[in-house]
Structure 1
């Protein structure tokens, strides 16, 4: 019975998935065309950059997808197919750059995990655990760097006070809303929280899963910073690597406050500000951010969307 019904049920779903993939491709093309002048200016500056350092940056960018797959595997106790998991992270990265605030990556990973046999609730928990691990790792690394490097540049006029005030105000609003809503949602959230804690304990009960979760999260953050460091070195700017790493960690944390696709605009502005505060010339900071974006977003975008369509066609998603 299942063998007879499967093709019939799969047809409409496959058409729907292909339609969504087509819409995503069109949206990506629209974003690239809208930023063609910035693309041309940054490309001219990178055209004379050091090729060896750009190759290092490219290798680090590719490795981020492997680290994302390792982190996702560490967030669940079940064994996931490794090859498909890496391919899904590649496709999720592309989807994340055309949909707001990580919605694309979350949707792709959620679909993949449910296809692997996890319930929707457990899949959502795995995504939350992965996101929490990434956020905690970035925060911890930033604190360690701030304490370990006495020469770290401090906030200066290069960082607008209004932006800092807005960030603090945003955190305060979130805290107030959490306190206000926690009582009426307590009974409903209690069951969900217990389920989440059960899954978290199960993951950390396995040393291999815990190492994959936290090690992958650390590797993901450091590799993204490595891309930025290598691009800065390719432009022959002598800003200390530790300062660039700290600039990336602070910028990526600040970009979360503005939910744009892949941090487009928010992450770019934050990176330029923090790189400038770290000692990079303004024009070079712009070029470095453009190079970082080219390697982590624009160049992999079309292949990633093609991979997304292929995974949907093969019913992996």
Structure 2
């Protein structure tokens, strides 16, 4: 049997081809979409305050121009005082918010949230905007929803009570400003008021008892609110912050009005302006207007006119007060709100 020459021998067998990589191994990771629904929602919330401010500015542009025109001729030093009291109002709001929560909140972020809440409060009625911003801030600090909501309820309850106590204190300290003999209610009036309050409480109790789906969460919420309120009032620092800040808030707001009035030459004393503001807020504060703008302004002009101020000057003072407390901080507050949303503090 003849052997084949070496040149005719077959070469080495080819190696088996490597098995193709599985699709999962070769496929590259899908890049995360830059336009996810959560990201789009956050960007929309960032721009929403600016859009609402633009719409509100277009609707109330004439009042803004009139107020700016009058403030241009006012005493600048009194206007600086008004701006100082405006800034102190945000500090007082932050103090009250801290007093309504047992946990310690970061002071800087808390103050920034209240500055941003002021911008939201002037867009939505009945303080809904400010409460929404504060609720998101408290949840971001790790406070459960039930306890954060309870703190908002306590805040909303303490403020009118403290304002009423301040009003009663002014009426007792300066009885010459009003004829209190004509304002003291008789027994029949007190009986009617007591009957009205009792009827309201009974109606609320009947509604709670009949609406079964709401009974359990409402009872849980009331229990949480009462527990937190009891805990806060056992800590003197929290109780002082809660009630002291709530009592200082109307005095600071009235001081802004008095400063603007003095800058324009309003012939009223600080005491008269404060009492006029307290009476106007008590009379028209229940109307759900954004930031109290509208009914409170009309009532404030009326009360200052009753104390002897000229109608035009009283109206100019109120317009200047709104320019100083609403229009001047509105755009910075909206920008702070956008930054807080963008950085996920809200």
TM-score, normalised via structure 1 length: 0.87
Say yes or no: does 1:201 pair with 2:230: yes
Match of 2:69 among 44, 47, 58: 44
CA contact (8 A) 1:114 1:120 kept: yes
- Separation in 1, partners of 2:295, 2:68: 21
Residue 31 of structure 1 deviates from its aligned partner by 1.4
Q: CA RMSD in A?
A: 2.4
Matching of residues 1-317 of structure 1 within 5 Å: 12-153=37-178, 176-186=199-209, 187-188=215-216, 189-317=218-346
CA contact (8 A) 1:45 1:287 kept: yes
- Separation in 1, partners of 2:98, 2:328: 26
Residue 17 of structure 1 deviates from its aligned partner by 3.0
Residues 1:269 and 1:79: Cα distance change in structure 2 (over 3 Å): same
CA contact (8 A) 2:91 2:111 kept: yes
Residues 1:139 and 1:14: Cα distance change in structure 2 (over 3 Å): farther
TM-score, normalised via structure 2 length: 0.80
Residue 176 of structure 1 deviates from its aligned partner by 4.4
- Separation in 1, partners of 2:36, 2:102: 32
CA contact (8 A) 2:83 2:324 kept: yes
Residue 238 of structure 1 deviates from its aligned partner by 2.6
CA contact (8 A) 1:153 1:278 kept: no
SS in 1 for 2:176: coil
CA contact (8 A) 1:68 1:220 kept: yes
Q: Which one has the largest radius of gyration?
A: 2
SS in 1 for 2:175: coil
Residues 1:276 and 1:114: Cα distance change in structure 2 (over 3 Å): same
Equivalent pairs, count: 297
Deviation per residue, 1:59-92 (Å, 9 max, x gap) = 1101111111111011111010110000000000
Extract unaligned runs of 5+ from structure 1.
1-6, 156-167
CA contact (8 A) 2:45 2:341 kept: no
- Separation in 1, partners of 2:42, 2:249: 29
Deviation per residue, 1:203-243 (Å, 9 max, x gap) = 11111111111111122221111101111111122312111
- Separation in 2, partners of 1:272, 1:175: 34
Deviation per residue, 1:98-139 (Å, 9 max, x gap) = 111111000000000011011111001111111222111110
- Separation in 1, partners of 2:264, 2:165: 29
Deviation per residue, 1:181-211 (Å, 9 max, x gap) = 3124155444332221110011111111111
Extract unaligned runs of 5+ from structure 2.
1-31, 181-191, 210-214
